Each structure stands twice: as C-alpha cells, then as structure tokens.
Structure 1
Amino acid sequence: MRIKLIPNFVTAALLSLSAYSCAVTPATLEQTFTLDAHNPLAVSRKGEQTLIPLALLNLDDDTNNSTYVAQINGSFVPSQLVDTDADGQQDSLLLITDYAPNAKVRIHVSTLRGGKLNPQYTPLTQAEMGVRVGGKKVGETWQGGEYQQVNELTNPASHTIGDKLYKYEGFGWESDLMAYRFYFDERGLIDIFGKRTPDLVLHEVGLDGGDYHAMNDWGMDVLKVGPSLGLAGVAAWQNEAIQPIQNVDSLSVKLQSGPLHSHATVEQTGWKLGEQAIDLRRRYSINAHSHLTYVQAFTKQEIPQLAVGIVKHNVEKLSYLDEQSEWLYLATFGEQSLADDQLGMAIFFRASDLHKVTEDELNELAVLNASKNLDFYFAARWAGEASPITTKQQFLNYLETTRQALNNPIKVTRAK
C-alpha cells in the first residue's frame, strides 16, 4: 500500500535505528521511536489490531498532537490515530499486522518536529449516512432530489419509518469484511449487510432504484429484525424483563471515517425509564480486516443492568460462559439469513459484567451490569461472504479464536 508524505519529509534520510527507543534526525526534523509488539498466544494471528498508546512516546512539546508513520521490517505500514476511550482525544496509534506464534514485531514510529505528516492510505473502513436533499414528500415517502453524505445529524421529529428520508433507513459502518446499519428512528436497532466483496459499498447501498433486500454483486441485507432487539440491540433490564429504548426526546449521530478504523456515535436523550429520563450515548467502532464491532455505552444516570440481545430465528444457541475467561460469548448459528443460508451472530462481553444469560419470546439475552458505562463486542458471519462460514464447527472456531484474541491483546512496549 503506497504512502504519500509531505514534500519536506526526506525518506532517504531515515535514521538507521538500533535498539535505542528514541532518536532524532536534525536534518529532517524527524523524531523516531522504536517499540516492540508481542503476541502472547502460541498461535499465528493474521490482521491483528495493534494499539500503540501515545503515552509510550516521549514526545517533545513541538511534536504533541502530531501525525505519525510506522515501519515494520523496513516497510511503511498503514496506521491511524484513534480515540480508544471515546473521550474526544486521540490517545493511540492503530496499525494492523500479522504475528507468528509467541512472536515479537519491532515497530518504528516517526513524526516531525514543527510539522505534520500527511500519509494517504487506501480506506478499508467507513461510517456513512445519506440524507435526501432537494426532494419532496409525496404521500408518506420522500421522492426526488439526491442523497447527500452527512457527518452528523439530528433526527427530525417529522421522520417516519420507511419514508425514504435516509438511504437505508439510517446510518451504517463497515470494514472490508462486514457491514452493519442502525435504524435511525424510534426502533434504534442494528441490522446486518452481508458483503460478498472487500470493497467499501455502503455509500452505494439504498439509492433510489436499488433493492438491498435482494442479492446484489456486493451482497444484501441478511437479517430479519422484526420486533426483536436485532443484533446487539440494548434495553434496560427491570423486573425480569426488557424495557426497550422508546419515547426519546432526541436522536442524533456523529460519524467519523478513517482508513483502518471508523466509528459512529449515536445519542438518545430523554429516554423515559420509569420516573427517570435517561441520556444514552453509544459508539460503534470497526477496524479493517475485522467482523467485530466494538460498542461503548455511556449514560449520565445510573442503569443497574442492560440487556443485549440477539434475535431468535429457531436456530442453535451457542455460548461460552466459563468465568475463568475474561471474555465470554453468546451466539446463534443456523439457516437464519434472508438469503436462506447460514448466518452466525455473536455478542462478546466481559465475565465481570455478566449478570445472567436468559431469553424472552423474541431474543436471546445477555444481561450485563452497566452502572453508567459498559463495553462489549458483536459480530456476524455469513455463508455468502468472501470467506464464508457454512458449518457450526467453522463458526465455533471463529468464536474461540476471537475470544482468545480478546483475552490476549497484542502487548506493546518500548524497545530496550
């Protein structure tokens, strides 16, 4: 993958690095750090997320809030600054690479003093939304005009389900492997777009004249959500029953796309829950080469427990609930896609957060202790995707590989 650097950055003058962890090349105003990333598992890991905390870099004052490039084995690799704790401040450098069993990878990270690099990478993720502009409402639906991309939006009170104001009823996020969408209305639920191509496609989905419920070259909508919680929809858990998110005062979203990582932050305010009015913010993040979505949920008010659901479609339930593991999962697998083939859905959650696993008429449920914040992952695997999963054993292998990876993240340290 090619990288374009600002003209004043002279790549030929890159410092030949030893084991010393920081060096400066005055001729190019370059500051370089050497780090080691270690795979603690005795298995190979392909396309693995590697997060380098910026706190590991002893940045000079004039390189704070800078940009970076990374090298592995003498070659530049794509990287991206990310905000891991959703506080609005970039705190880590993300790169994605392969690891041999129990192996260490040396990474050189460079930045400029008094300048900013401008690397360009092929996008492998996006978060996007299209809203109709220039149209008019005919009966119950909007017609004419064109869908225009937005970075943030507050849902108007006049919007109704199915009125075609939004391209595919809301916003979406995707990697090169899988795509998801959020119903930007009173449902506030998640659906799955199964992808048959590594290309980014959401910006072309849901345009007038298209049908994402039918098979396309790129794939299709593969999940029937109905009145359930869909995949990883959340609800309060009270009196041994779910209390869905309904009757909110406002619904808004902010979208941010990057080459390796994209996210969508949705906020629902004034959710009426008994005598409380709850403000709930959720951020959905996805990385390149991954089916996983990472969910971070925050409330200003106490909610003791949240239920996270998977819609029931009369297929097999799978779970790993041994609390000796940091991460557990609840999943379903079987012929449950709208393409009439195999679809697997899973929620990964921390053992320390689990209250219980249960079910109701429409959903398999993981009830999690929430307080004011909670994080978990979800994923879908589809028989029609480029690397298909068509058997229960293949899906179980994916679930176990993912659980082990979550339990054993790549560890990054300063080189010695």
Structure 2
Amino acid sequence: MKWMVLASLLYAALFGCTADSSPVIRLINQDNVEKTGAIVYLDKNDIGLIQGNLRITSSNYEIPAQQIDTDGDGDWDQVLLLCDFEPKEVKALEIAADKADNQISAEPYTNISFSVKAQDRFAGSKITEIVRKRGATQRISDPFFQLEGPGIENDKVAFRTFFDPRNGKDIYGKTTDQMILDRAGIGSSWHQLSDWGMDILRVGQSLGAGGLGVIEEGTLYRLGDADEITYQELYSGDLESSHRLEFKGWDSGSRKIDGSERLTLTKGKYYYRNDIGISDTTLTLAVGIPSFKSDSVTFRKHNDLFSSISTYENQADGTDSKLGLAVLFSSDQYVDHGSTDTTGTVSDTHYVALKGQPETRIYFFACWELSDVYFSKRSNFEEYLQKEADKLSNTIQIIKK
C-alpha cells in the first residue's frame, strides 16, 4: 500500500495534478534566458478534449488562451497560449472542458476589418468571405472596399492587403493599443497623423510590405492578379487573427500557378506571419520591401534557422520619423537578395529570392518610432529583430502526459 501512495505523490510532483484531475501538458523553456510573450500552439489531438470551451491553468493561474480554426471549417483545431517563462522554467498546464465561456473577454488585442467602402461615419457591411475574378480593379480615390482590401491589426501595428491586381501590402503605424481599422479613413485621411496613427508606407509600383513576386530569367514579376481569388477570414480573436487568400491561375511571370497566402498577426508583435503556398516549386519566390527612402538593404544571418533582409531609415511616409522594415525567412531557402530600379512593372523594391517550396513561411516586421520610442535607434530595431528570430528558432518544448 505504501508504494502506491508514494507513486501517487511522485506523479503529482512531476505533473502537478492528481489522477482525478484534468489532462496535463508540460511546457518547457529549454533556454537559460527569460521569454516574455512566448507563443505556444497546442493541437486538438494533443489535448484530447474536443467539445466546448477550455479552461487552462498553471499553478492555479489561468493562462490566456484562444481556440482557433486554422482551416476555416468552423471547428477549432488548435489552442493558442501566450506565456511568460523564467529561464529553464517548466509549466504544468491543467486543461479541462468548461461549460462557461472562459475565453478572454477583455478588450481584444487583434482584429480583422474588411468591408465595402464606408458611408459617412460608419463602415459598410463586414466581409468574411468573397470571390473576385481577374481584372477587378479599384479607383484609389474612390475604392470599392474601405481599406482597398482586408486589414489586420494588433495592439502594435496594422497591415492591409490590396484586394485587386496589385496584391500589395501596406502598413498603418499605430500610436494606440486600441483597435482602429474599423474607423481608419472614415471622415479623415489616413495619410495624415491622427489620434490612432497613420498610413506610413509608400507602396507605388513596389511589392509593398512583404508583397510577393517571382524571379524569372533575372526579372522580378509581381504575384498579383489571378483568374480567381478567394478571401476567407479564418478567425479574429483576443490574442490572434488570421485570414487567407487562395489564387487559381495566379500570374507568375510567363506561367500560371495555384497558390495561397495566410496572414496571421498575434498580440504584442510588430510583425505578421505569412504562410505561402505555391503549386510550382521550380519557381524562385521573391518577398519585397519598398526602397523609396532606402538606398541599401542589410542581409543578416541571425542563427542556424533564420536570416533577414532589412532597412532602417527616416522612411515613414508623410513624417520625418524612423521606420525599420524587415523580412525574416528560413536560411535554407535563401538564394540571393537585390533591388530593382525606379522603372519597370515592379520598381523601387528591395527583395530576397527564396527557393520554391510547396509551403514557405516568412515574417514581415514594421517597427515605427512613433509606436514605440525604443525604435528611434537602429541598434534597438536590430536587437528586436535578433531577439524575435531567436525566439522563433528556440520554441517552447511541449511534453504530453
């Protein structure tokens, strides 16, 4: 009998629960450094609870969590956790189904905004899914869509994608942690500094803020229009939001391919993640940064997994302020980097060339000094980029019970 009691105590010590408690997963910070705002994704199959809401605790402290639908089928697939870790810390998570809605109910830290053009003071009907055909253009002075396409934001920065043949991306620099895209440009111009911030990027004929292209025989072509493009909002929640674009007959130089982009933005980050899919892996993919106010681009290998190209100048459009821009990518895919001139169909662009793969993940950074005075120094921007690259390469270890 004594050995059974000792075994139960040992089990509780190792996993932080008793045999009658909820499922337990351990999260381990394997590094001897503190990690704040670490992102952890738990798959539904790892949890074992598939119905309803979840309550996740560690040492009797409730962990901020969001159940997310990664494939758009209406059912959640993963749980996102945002955790802080001390060096070498181990967290034992207790996970239980809960009839109450224990999802975070405070002011959301992320948001997706996509609607028809606003009338007067109010945005039009929200769009969660829409299909457009080739050649559907917009007048920039009077666009059909309020932000010219879907916008995505968190408490630090906002981005928009042009839902037309440009397929470029733009940046709204934020001076508030409130969600602002639903009112941006309504009754005022987003090209002028307001109480929430402003549009801080000149896009022109460049690829824009992490916009995509392909390189064919030394020429950069835009991954822009397609025979059919489908937009779908996957989820918009307190901690993270994500939307997807699917392309059929996507123009890629002299060829047409099928492909996709899935943009994801998480609370507290000055960058979005783009999961890119292409059907033809013989292509060389390109990811861009506008070069209007930066003559040179910096290439840096951060660690064994990640490298980047970046610029840092007084390049926030409409202001005389510092803006750091970067594309972070897998070092294994790196081919080359370069810049286009001021002419051609894709002009004024620094770009990185990447080996074609069925799935490519990149991160695009936009760090504006009016969002955080920390970014008023180049060294601080470079430090942030390095720290995030290290976090992404040294993820939290997940051990199931």
- Judge same fold: TM > 0.5, yes or no: yes
State the alpha-carbon separation in 1 of the partners of residues 301 and 396 from structure 2: 23
| C-alpha RMSD of the superposition | 2.7
1:315–1:334 CA contact under 8 A, matched in 2: no
1:251–1:266 CA contact under 8 A, matched in 2: yes
Cα distance change on mapping 1:251 and 1:340 into 2, 3 Å: farther
- Residue number in structure 2 paired with 1:182: 161
SS at match of 1:398: helix
- Residue number in structure 1 paired with 2:178: 199
SS at match of 1:249: strand
- Residue number in structure 1 paired with 2:242: 263
Q: CA deviation at 1:191?
A: 0.6
- Residue number in structure 1 paired with 2:259: 280
Greater shift, 196-205 or 115-124, is seen at 115-124
- Counterpart of 2:64, as a letter, is P
Instruction: Deviation per CA, 1:384-414: give whole Å up to 9, x if none.
Output: 0045410111111111101111110111213
State the alpha-carbon separation in 2 of the partners of residues 24 and 151 from structure 1: 44
- Residue number in structure 2 paired with 1:105: 91
Is 1:353 equivalent to 2:326 in the alignment?
A: no
The equivalent position to 1:214 in structure 2, one of 177, 192, 203, is 192
Is 1:245 equivalent to 2:223 in the alignment?
A: yes
Is 1:121 equivalent to 2:105 in the alignment?
A: yes
1:44–1:100 CA contact under 8 A, matched in 2: yes
State the alpha-carbon separation in 2 of the partners of residues 315 and 197 from structure 1: 31
Query: What's the % identity of the aligned pairs?
Result: 23
SS at match of 1:204: coil
Is 1:34 equivalent to 2:8 in the alignment?
A: no
Instruction: Deviation per CA, 1:208-252: give whole Å up to 9, x if none.
Output: x22111001111111111111111111011111211124422233
Q: CA deviation at 1:42?
A: 2.5
Q: How does 1:9-408 map to 2 (within 5 A)?
A: 19-20=14-15, 32-57=22-47, 59=48, 63-82=49-68, 90-112=76-98, 117=101, 119-122=103-106, 123-132=108-117, 147-155=124-132, 159-162=137-140, 163-207=142-186, 209-255=187-233, 256-273=235-252, 276-312=255-291, 313-314=293-294, 317-321=297-301, 325-338=304-317, 339-361=319-341, 362-386=348-372, 388-408=374-394
SS at match of 1:389: helix
SS at match of 1:50: strand
Q: CA deviation at 1:254?
A: 1.1
Q: CA deviation at 1:371?
A: 3.1
State the alpha-carbon separation in 2 of the partners of residues 389 and 49 from structure 1: 23
2:65–2:104 CA contact under 8 A, matched in 1: no
Over 6 Å off, 4+ runs: 21-24, 85-89
- Counterpart of 1:341, as a letter, is S
1:282–1:297 CA contact under 8 A, matched in 2: yes
- Counterpart of 1:132, as a letter, is K
2:138–2:148 CA contact under 8 A, matched in 1: no
2:176–2:197 CA contact under 8 A, matched in 1: yes
Please, which runs of 5 or more residues in structure 2 have no aligned partner?
A: 1-11, 342-347
Q: CA deviation at 1:281?
A: 1.0
Greater shift, 405-414 or 70-79, is seen at 70-79
Q: Which has the higher strand share?
A: 1
2:123–2:182 CA contact under 8 A, matched in 1: no
Q: CA deviation at 1:94?
A: 0.9
Give TM-score scaled by structure 2 length: 0.86
2:28–2:398 CA contact under 8 A, matched in 1: yes
Please, which runs of 5 or more residues in structure 1 have no aligned partner?
A: 1-16, 26-30, 136-142
State the alpha-carbon separation in 2 of the partners of residues 50 and 406 from structure 1: 11
